[in-house]
Amino acid sequence: MAMRIRVTTRAGLYERRKQEHIDCGYRIEEERPIPVNGFCTFVAARELPVSDALTELVALAVNGNHGAGDDY
């Protein structure tokens, strides 16, 4: 299973944000380094083992999109 994140960042932070994602194990795809309205984009992609993807889905189902579920 692949996880893909589109990252939009200010032009001045583009290289640093890209390097942060590389350091976290992502590969960079679909780079758009030329700013449009002051922002650049790229796609950070990473292959997830099936067990990690399943764990992530279970955590999302249990916690929802709002973290630890303290709102109950």
16 in a domain, yes or no? yes
Per-residue pLDDT tens digits for 32-71? 999 999 999 999 998 877 666 677 777 778 876 554 444 4
User: What pLDDT is attached to residue 65?
Assistant: 57
What's the confidence (pLDDT) of residue 60?
78
- Domain membership flag for residue 54: yes
- 39 part of a folded domain: yes
User: Is 72 domain-assigned?
Assistant: no
Residues whose CB is less than 8 angstroms from the CB of residue 17 and which lie 6 or more positions away in sequence, other chains included: 7, 9
Q: Per this entry, what is the length of the chain?
A: 72
pLDDT of residue 53: 64
In this predicted structure, what is the pLDDT of residue 57?
77
**Going edge to edge, which strands form the sheet with 2-10?**
2-10, 39-47, 27-36
Domains held by the chain: number:
1
71 located within any domain? no
Domain that holds residue 16: 2-66
- For the stretch 2-38, pLDDT in tens is 789 999 999 999 999 999 999 989 999 999 999 999 9
